[in-house]
Structure 1
Amino acid sequence: MNKPIIILGNGGHASVLAEILILQQRDILGYTAPSEEANSYGVNYLGTDKIIREYCPKEVELILGLGTVRVSTVRHSIFEKMKRQGYTFVTCIHPKAIISHTATLAEGTQIMAGAIIQPHVQIGENTIINTGVIIEHDCLIGAHVHIAPGTTLSGGVIIGNESHIGPGSSIIQGVEIGKKTLIGAGSVVISNIGTSKKAYGVPAKEV
């Protein structure tokens, strides 16, 4: 049975998730934020994240509405904190995404409209696959990753935990991106990039 959902956050990314949940006819209890803000979907303000403790972990699910524009540990920290308290996170998939039945999606994965996930792809927990992303066969995507809109990953690409792949990037087959690495918007990655690096350009080079 589907449980009521609490959205953590109320920014732009949270609004995209709210629309997906509404399309899926899920019950949204409300959102949490430091203070009450306008919400175009009429979602109720519950309070700060501390209010979540008033809901039994067995009776609700959470969805993390915080997006990222660079490498960040914030999503990872919030996810792990709530998991330690016994809460679970919704795996949220837009109905217009195309996902192979052989793909593996971990808890809290968020897949937006127009994304295509091909056979034998593995996606780690709390990872965002944003609008129009194409992930070809046999890619391995780590946990707490954000693959921004319009990105294309060819077959067999590996993305390390907490990395951020900027919008419109292309990564050729077999390339490995290390953990906590930022790939700049519009980059074309044709060789491996290490851990905790920044890389930009066509072709992408570490900076």
Structure 2
Amino acid sequence: MTTTLLLLAADEPRSAEVTDWAARLGWVAGLLLFIALVYWLMRQGWKWRGSLQSALPELPGMPETPGAARLSMSGRYHGSTTAGQWLDRIVAHGLGTRSRAELTLTDAGLHVARPGADDFFVPADRLRGARLDKGIAGKVLAEGGLLVVTWEHGGQLIDSGFRSDRAAEHTDWVEALDSMTDTHTKNDTEGAAR
């Protein structure tokens, strides 16, 4: 008799499982709070890094007469790091903000125009060289896909990464910047010898 009752109970139609909306909404709210906390912590870390780098002086402005453009390039600015340490991002004075960029090299130096971010200028006597590389903080490309310009500011060497819309231009930039650096180094050495 017991087996008959069990078989009859198993044959009866059942209703669909009821969704526990309170539990689901609780999980969704918890997940959204977790995401907001992670975002807030990332933002605080960015601000903290900026305050640690506050000793870096203001960036020089564009001179009134920069001279004729030797080279120009449009592309992307991927950020700046401490020279030789491709993961140590510099965020002070807007150097950590990625953006489109228009680079212009003149006899006075390198002008970086960035729509939506602060422009900056590197005087020719502060340029220390250029190279092709594959990565800078938060951006990794194919070997030689990134133009890295090394310059000195406030007693600190800085690497700034750029990628041209036409990657074939990178080698011309490296040659021009290295030539400009060699010229300034030679002039500084001759001036010190006098």
Calculate the TM-score normalised by the size of structure 1: 0.21
More strand by share: 2
More helix by share: 2
Larger Rg: 2
Q: Which has the higher contact order (CA 8 A, sep 6+)?
A: 2
Calculate the TM-score normalised by the size of structure 2: 0.22
